[in-house]
Amino acid sequence: MSAVLNLAEMTADNQMDDDARADARELILAVAELFDIPTHRFEIEECEQDHSIVIKIHSDDDSKPKLTLVSNNDLNSNDNDNSND
């Protein structure tokens, strides 16, 4: 479902009419909410003085990502094998 909404968003971005674009985005957000799919909004600001770009990401999902620290990766244990020397 997320992939379909991503395609719908790309289609909305290509609309020439601002009203049609806004209507499409409203529908996309409603469907995402219906299926409990987290949404993200991006704000892009360009500074006229130094031409720097600031990108702000707004997430409607209040939960924090669950990260796992991996200190040792045993999957590639053969990489450090020096038995062929």
Query: Mind listing the pLDDT tens digit for each residue in 13-57?
Result: 898 899 999 999 999 989 998 998 888 777 888 888 888 888 887
Q: Where are the domains of the chain?
A: 2-59
Beta partners for residue 78, in sequence order: none
Q: What is the pTM of this model?
A: 0.53
The CB-based long-range contact list for 49-53 (8 Å cut-off, 24+ gap) reads: none
Task: Provide the pLDDT for residue 75.
Answer: 60
Q: Which residue has the tokens 């053969």?
A: 78
DSSP code of 65? P
What is the b/e burial string over 24-48, where b = at least 16 CB atoms within 10 angstroms of the residue's CB?
A: bbeebbeebeeeeeeeeeeeeeeee
- Whether residue 27 contacts residue 63, with contact meaning beta carbons closer than 8 Å, is answered with no
pLDDT tens for each residue of 67-82: 676 777 666 555 555 5
Would the pLDDT of 85 be above 70? no
Task: Provide the pLDDT for residue 74.
Answer: 65
